[in-house]
């Protein structure tokens, strides 16, 4: 196993709340924890779940206008540079006079950059539950994106995107090594759909799928109620097997990605040479 073909990563499971200050403090603690791990598991990049910096508890709650130049992102840039760890954070971002559910990559060398805006927004109405309309406050992204860390190619997606296989088909055509799915799944859908969807995306794309998730009861800091998310952060390998999983609680899970595992699966089942659509 060649060293240049492997990459240590970590996934963070959080119970974020409607306070950027509280969430930033938790993120900082997790980054410091990861930075003190022994070399064999110390991550080069940490992936945080959807709504990392701000978790809206009530659907009518006004979103904060968090911009890329905000003090929160300046602090995350500082953390990344100090620890020499890339940070992948998905949060509400205000940019170009619109709110986005977006992923931001903090590089130790070059700071913060918006790398993906969520394409499929969560507008659903489950039986017996109040409807949820993410598009009432967020704009739809329109660009399929990939990014690179130390020669590893990652495909971008966020939570509800996972139900749309055509997005992952594009990442598979791009021969990515891993696809990231920061999430905040509902308990009702998570219990039935989460594991199946994550593993299916890995199997059909023949790459790793990294799915950091929100977990537990999210209590509003201003007494406006609570929401619950499913958790079950998971790393799935290109064969569709779970390498690491954190079903409940908050904290980090660690894994090592290996390019050779992707090549091994693709050589056994050469889907890219068989594609007709």
The arithmetic mean of pLDDT across residues 72-92, rounded, is 98
Phi and psi of 133, rounded to 5°? Answer: -130, 90
Contact 16, 49 (CB under 8 A): yes
Q: How many CA atoms lie within 13 A of 257 on its CB side?
A: 31
Count other Cβ atoms within 10 Å, centred on residue 202: 27
Catalytic, out of 118, 153, 246, 259 = 118
Which residue range forms the structural domain that includes residue 180? 3-274
Please confirm, yes or no, whether 159 is among the known catalytic residues: yes
Per-residue model confidence as pLDDT tens digits over 98-150: 999 999 999 999 999 999 999 999 877 788 777 778 888 999 999 999 999 99
Catalytic, out of 50, 72, 77, 134 = 50
Per-residue model confidence as pLDDT tens digits over 164-182: 999 999 999 999 999 999 9
Domain count, the chain: 1
Higher pLDDT, 126 or 11: 11
Burial of 12 (0-12, 13-18, 19+ CB in 10 A): buried
- Give the domain CATH number at 181: 3.60.110.10
Catalytic, out of 159, 259, 261, 262 = 159
The pTM is what?
0.96
Give the span between the Cα atoms of 157 and 145, in whole angstroms: 8
Count other Cβ atoms within 10 Å, centred on residue 75: 14
pLDDT at 265 over 50: yes
Contact 89, 72 (CB under 8 A): no
pLDDT recorded at residue 3:
54
Per-residue model confidence as pLDDT tens digits over 145-166: 999 999 999 999 999 999 999 9
Please confirm, yes or no, whether 118 is among the known catalytic residues: yes
Q: How many helices (H) and strands (E) does the chain have?
A: 7, 16
């Amino acid at each position: 196993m060649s060293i240049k073909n492997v990459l240590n990563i970590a996934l963070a499971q959080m119970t974020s709340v409607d306070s950027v200050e509280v969430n930033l403090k938790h993120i900082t603690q997790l980054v410091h924890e990861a930075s003190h791990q022994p070399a064999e598991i110390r991550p080069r990049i940490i992936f945080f779940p959807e709504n990392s910096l701000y978790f809206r508890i009530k659907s009518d709650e006004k979103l904060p206008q968090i911009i890329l130049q905000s003090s929160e992102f300046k602090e995350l840039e500082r953390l990344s540079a100090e620890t020499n760890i890339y940070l992948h954070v998905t949060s509400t971002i205000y940019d170009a006079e619109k709110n986005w559910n977006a992923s931001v990559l903090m590089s130790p060398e070059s700071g913060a950059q918006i790398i993906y805006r969520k394409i499929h927004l969560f507008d659903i109405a489950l039986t017996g539950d109040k409807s949820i309309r993410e598009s009432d406050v967020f704009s739809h992204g329109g660009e399929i994106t990939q990014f690179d860390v130390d020669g590893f190619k990652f495909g971008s997606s966020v939570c509800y995107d996972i139900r749309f296989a055509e997005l992952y088909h594009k990442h598979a055509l791009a021969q990515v090594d891993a696809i990231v799915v920061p999430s905040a799944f509902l308990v009702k859908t998570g219990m039935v759909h989460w594991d199946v969807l994550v593993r299916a995306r890995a199997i059909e794309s023949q790459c790793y799928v990294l799915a950091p998730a929100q977990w537990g009861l999210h209590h509003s800091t201003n007494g406006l109620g609570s929401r619950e998310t499913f958790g079950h952060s998971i790393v799935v390998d290109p064969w569709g097997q779970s390498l690491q999983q954190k079903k409940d609680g908050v904290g980090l899970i660690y894994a090592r990605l290996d390019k050779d595992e992707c090549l091994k699966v693709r050589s056994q089942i050469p889907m890219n040479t068989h594609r007709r659509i």
